[in-house]
Amino acid sequence: MLKEIDVKLLESSNGKAINRGWREDIAESIEKMGDDAYCVPASLAHGCEVSYERAYKFCETKLNRKHGRGTIIDSIWQGGVKRVLGKRICFVGRVDPYRRSGPKNNYVKTYKVAGKKVDRNGTVGSFLKEYTEGTYLVGVDRHLFCIKDGVVLGNREDALQSRKQVHFFCKLK
């Protein structure tokens, strides 16, 4: 049912732990509740330092979560939710006021390609290098995970897929 829950530390090339997996209590709650689409409540539980059950209930009541169907988190990224489980949401990064759908903020990096400057979504790897302190919720394609002080808290593959594009993120304070 669960994707691999790996609570061992994975080492990056510089020796810093890059993934801790889920907290043990979160992993047990996910298993007990039997829900495959658990990334949003588990990420909120990590980021806000609350139980998985409390984060799950928040997702049900505030974000219209349906059991087994996942959570659509547009209301967070579009500014509809200002606080999550006692933590304030702070948008960081470039804001695109002209964007009609999707998140209003995103992780955009400017790269030089064939002598021209090009804006592209940054990757998980570049995000980890740039944001080494603080707690962040990071959204990639149809998935969310938490990064706390440069350590990825999520599925094992979240830290291993460093070339995956970051579509949106926010800081929890």
Greatest extent of the chain over all pairs of C-alpha atoms, in Å: 54
Domain ranges of the chain: 20-172
Residue-level length of the chain: 173
Q: What is the model's pLDDT at position 80?
A: 65
Contact 167, 121 (CB under 8 A): yes
pTM flag (> 0.75): yes
Matching residue, tokens 């009609």: 100
Residue pLDDT tens, the chain, 173 long = 333 333 333 333 333 434 566 788 888 888 888 888 888 999 999 999 999 999 999 999 888 888 888 887 766 666 567 788 999 988 776 555 555 555 555 777 787 889 998 877 788 888 988 889 999 999 888 888 999 998 888 877 787 788 888 888 889 99
